[in-house]
Structure 1
């Protein structure tokens, strides 16, 4: 009887070890991804490119939100420094909106001294992936293949990953102003969000919006 009862123990030990191993691997993957999100957020690469690409954010009747305006100011600075000869703004609109995010961004840039011929608005896409796909198509039609992406720091890694997947050779130059980078609590919240969204994208090649992880507070679309 004793020998019969003892038989399941090696199996149970194996199952326990397997579960512990899976949990440890999961923790390493999540932790490593979170570290990379934080690490890339600190990189400001101003290599010369075909275009400065501004990812869209909320706009209100054509007026950029604080998040979008911070990105646009940064993009204008890059343009003024000669990083690229063109700025491409992205982002569609929500039901009932008169303007797209891309239009609001392009209008702000031209109103603040960027020549109209240097600005292209691509008002398609309601999330990061959709916007980048539309931007890639428009850029390719003009012979643009390299881009410096402007978004919020924590969004940089996911944005760059998606941009490269849709055909860009991409670098990131994130904003360091605006509401998303003002408090440590907000920063931690967005690092956690971007970690989850990037892992989901890497597993599915789809936007995190597909499972209801909503990009909020006027942030990237």
Structure 2
């Protein structure tokens, strides 16, 4: 007696589709979870190895006054400078429409007021996101024969900035700030890890920036 196999074939196809979907979801979770763990691990690193320059990633400023996020980063850079981690500090970042100061200029002025000699500060006044800023710093430093940097930003931002800097031909490591709004609460820490996980995955996939401009109190 003849029997139909069409329903069986259809059921087998559906099972394979379900398995592929479940497998894809599990692989995605593994990638995202692994990246989040790496963001967290690098956030905990404080590398004070001697470098050619200390690079402070820009953040919001208000008519020349650094925001609390930016001030925390600048204070960390000043601390590294006093410890002679590097002979110069690089501030970086452009300005928004209507601003009187760039992030780089406001950062430089703040460091001068803290006692850092002006000739030890290089202001790279360009960059509206992390990638543009890192590439501008790389160009400026390589033109001066300098290639090693210690990066200062918020902890969760460290892995992405380090990845971008190394892609831009710099030898880079990190010594992030441990103060400021980005590290005040568990909620801000969780938000930072979540945000940076997907920003880093986007960069690795496309080599474009996901910013958002990374400033926790814009």
**TM bucket, shorter chain:** over 0.9
- Which structure 1 segments of 5+ residues have no match? none
* Alignment partner of 1:141 is 2:143: yes
The 3-state SS of whatever aligns with 1:148 is: strand
1: CA distance, partners of 2:176 / 2:214: 17
TM-score (normalizing by structure 2):
0.96
Find the partner of 1:167 among 166, 169, 188: 169
Q: How does 1:167-206 map to 2 (within 5 A)?
A: 167-206=169-208
Q: Matched residue of 1:7: which SS?
A: helix
How far apart, in 2, do the equivalents of 1:94 and 1:39 lie? 33
- Secondary structure at the residue paired with 2:5? helix
2:22 maps to: 20
Counterpart-to-counterpart distance in 1, 2:96 and 2:120: 26
Cα deviation for residue 13 of structure 1 reads 1.5
Cα separation, 1, equivalents of 2:7 and 2:127: 61
DSSP 3-state at the match of 1:53: strand
1:208 is paired with a residue whose SS is: coil
Distance in 2 between residues matched to 1:173 and 1:28, nearest whole Å: 28
Q: How does 1:38-57 map to 2 (within 5 A)?
A: 38-57=40-59
Secondary structure in structure 2 of the residue aligned to 1:175 = coil
Residue in structure 2 matched with residue 115 of structure 1 by the alignment = 117
**Bigger shift: residues 3-12 or 186-195:** 3-12
**Could you state the TM-score of these two structures normalised by the residue count of structure 1?**
0.95
Residue deviations 1:160-202 (CA, integer Å, cap 9, x gap): 0011111110000000000110000111011100001000000
Q: Pairwise CA RMSD of aligned residues?
A: 1.2
